[in-house]
C-alpha cells in the first residue's frame, strides 16, 4: 500500500520532468533546424563557438533564479548582482593578476550579503519577493556606481585567459555551467535538505506543520541564487575584455524565461535544472537567430517576452480541460442551432 501511494505521488513530478525536458529539447532541435534554413550564419561553427559561453552564463543565472522560483518567489536583483560581480573583479584588480583572487572573494562576500538581505526580507519578514528584491537591486547598483564611478576597466589577463580558454574544443564557461548544474542536481535530488527544499516550495503550510524550517530554506534559496549570479558575473567579466557596469541589465527577463521554458512552475515546488540549462541554450540561439535576421534590439526583447509567455501558457494552462470546455460549448451551440431550425 505504501509503495502504491509513493508511486502515485511521484507520478506527477515524473510527468512534469518528462514534459519539461521533451518540450525544450524538441523546441531547441526545431530552432536549430530553422536557423540552418533561414539564417545559416547563426549556426556556423565560429558563431556557435562564440555563442556557447553566453549560453553557459545564462544557464548559471537561470539555475539561481530557479531556486528562488521553487520557493514560489522571484529574484529581480539579478541585474545588480551580476553587474556588481563584474565591477568588483574588473576594477579592484585594475589589471593586476595578483589582486584577482582577493577581488573574487570580495565579490562572493557581497553576493552572500545580498542573499542574506533578500532571504531575511522574504523568508523571515514575509515581504513580497518582487518589492524586496527590487530594493536589494537598487542597493547593489548603488555599490556598482560607487566602485566603478561609471568608468569601465579592462579585465585581468589571468581572468581573460581562464574564461576565454578552450579545452577539448569546449569553452571553459561550459565546464563552469556543467559544474553548477551538477551541484544543483546533487543537492536537490541526492540530499535530505534538497528534498525538504522542494517539499517546502510545493506547500509551505504543510511543510511548516511537518516541522520543517520553512523560513531558513526560503531564505537560503536567495543566498544560493546570489552565489550563482556572482559566478556568472565573474565569467562575463572574463569573457568580455572591457566589461561595462550595466551588463547585468540584459539578464532580468531571460533569467525568468529560461526557468519557465524549462518547465519549473512559477507556483513553486519541484525544479527542473537540466531543462533550465537546455532552455538557456534555446533562448541564446533564439537571440542569435533573430540577430542574424537583422532585426533591432526592441524586437529581440519582444521575442524574449513572447518566449516567456509561450512557456507560461505551455506549462500552466490545463489544455485538456480547455479542450473539453470548448467541445462542450461547440456541442451546445450545435444543439441550439438544430432546435432553432424549422421542422420539415
The answer to whether 253 and 170 have CB atoms below 8 angstroms apart is no
Q: Could you read off the pLDDT of 58-106 as tens digits, one per residue?
A: 999 999 999 999 999 999 999 999 999 999 999 999 889 999 999 999 9
pLDDT of residue 287: 87
- Give me Rg for the CA atoms of the chain: 23
pLDDT greater at residue 21 or residue 116: 116
pTM of the model: 0.86
Query: Does residue 85 sit within a domain?
Result: yes
Mean confidence (pLDDT) of the chain: 86
What residue numbers bound the domain in which 236 lies? Answer: 14-335
CATH number at residue 163: 1.10.3470
* pLDDT value at 180 more than 60: yes
Residue 52 lies in a domain: yes
Work out the angle between the directed axes of helices 157-164 and 214-239 (0-180°, nearest 10): 100
In a domain, 7, yes or no: no
In a domain, 344, yes or no: no
Q: Is the pLDDT of residue 229 over 50?
A: yes
Residue 339 has pLDDT above 70, yes or no: no
Burial class, 229, CB count within 10 angstroms (exposed 0-12 / middle 13-18 / buried 19+): buried
6 found inside a domain: no
Q: What is the pLDDT of residue 9?
A: 41
Q: Is the pLDDT of residue 325 over 90?
A: no
In a domain, residue 124? The reply is: yes
DSSP assignment letter at 163: H
Q: Is residue 1 part of a domain?
A: no
Task: Give domain status of residue 273, yes or no.
Answer: yes
Q: Which pLDDT belongs to residue 291? A: 84
> pLDDT per residue over 104-121, tens digit each?
999 999 999 999 999 999
Looking at the structure of the chain, the number of domains it has is 1
Amino acid at each position: 500500500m505504501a509503495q502504491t501511494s509513493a508511486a502515485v505521488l511521484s507520478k506527477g513530478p515524473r510527468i512534469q520532468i518528462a514534459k519539461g525536458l521533451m518540450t525544450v529539447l524538441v523546441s531547441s532541435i526545431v530552432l536549430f533546424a530553422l536557423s540552418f534554413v533561414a539564417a545559416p550564419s547563426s549556426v556556423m561553427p565560429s558563431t556557435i563557438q562564440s555563442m556557447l559561453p553566453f549560453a553557459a552564463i545564462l544557464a548559471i543565472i537561470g539555475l539561481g533564479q530557479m531556486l528562488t522560483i521553487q520557493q514560489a518567489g522571484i529574484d529581480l536583483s539579478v541585474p545588480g548582482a551580476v553587474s556588481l560581480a563584474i565591477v568588483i573583479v574588473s576594477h579592484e584588480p585594475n589589471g593586476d593578476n595578483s589582486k584577482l583572487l582577493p577581488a573574487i572573494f570580495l565579490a562572493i562576500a557581497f553576493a552572500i550579503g545580498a542573499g542574506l538581505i533578500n532571504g531575511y526580507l522574504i523568508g523571515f519578514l514575509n515581504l513580497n519577493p518582487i518589492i524586496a528584491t527590487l530594493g536589494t537591486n537598487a542597493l547593489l547598483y548603488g555599490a556598482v556606481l560607487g566602485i566603478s564611478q561609471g568608468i569601465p576597466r579592462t579585465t585581468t589577463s589571468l581572468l581573460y585567459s581562464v574564461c576565454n580558454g578552450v579545452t577539448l574544443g569546449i569553452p571553459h564557461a561550459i565546464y563552469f555551467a556543467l559544474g553548477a548544474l551538477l551541484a544543483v542536481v546533487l543537492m536537490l535530488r541526492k540530499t535530505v535538505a534538497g528534498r525538504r527544499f522542494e517539499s517546502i516550495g510545493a506547500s509551505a503550510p504543510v511543510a511548516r506543520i511537518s516541522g520543517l524550517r520553512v523560513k531558513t530554506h526560503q531564505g537560503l534559496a536567495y543566498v544560493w541564487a546570489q552565489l550563482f549570479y556572482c559566478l556568472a558575473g565573474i565569467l562575463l567579466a572574463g569573457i568580455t575584455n572591457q566589461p561595462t557596469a550595466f551588463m547585468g541589465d540584459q539578464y532580468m527577463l531571460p533569467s525568468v524565461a529560461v526557468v519557465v521554458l524549462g518547465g519549473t512552475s512559477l507556483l513553486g515546488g519541484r525544479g527542473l535544472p537540466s531543462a533550465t540549462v537546455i532552455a538557456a541554450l534555446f533562448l541564446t540561439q533564439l537571440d542569435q537567430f533573430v540577430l542574424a535576421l537583422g532585426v533591432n534590439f526592441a524586437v529581440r526583447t519582444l521575442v524574449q517576452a513572447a518566449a516567456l509567455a509561450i512557456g507560461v501558457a505551455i506549462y500552466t494552462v490545463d489544455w485538456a480541460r480547455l479542450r473539453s470546455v470548448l467541445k462542450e460549448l461547440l456541442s451546445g451551440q450545435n444543439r441550439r442551432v438544430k432546435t432553432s431550425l424549422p421542422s420539415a
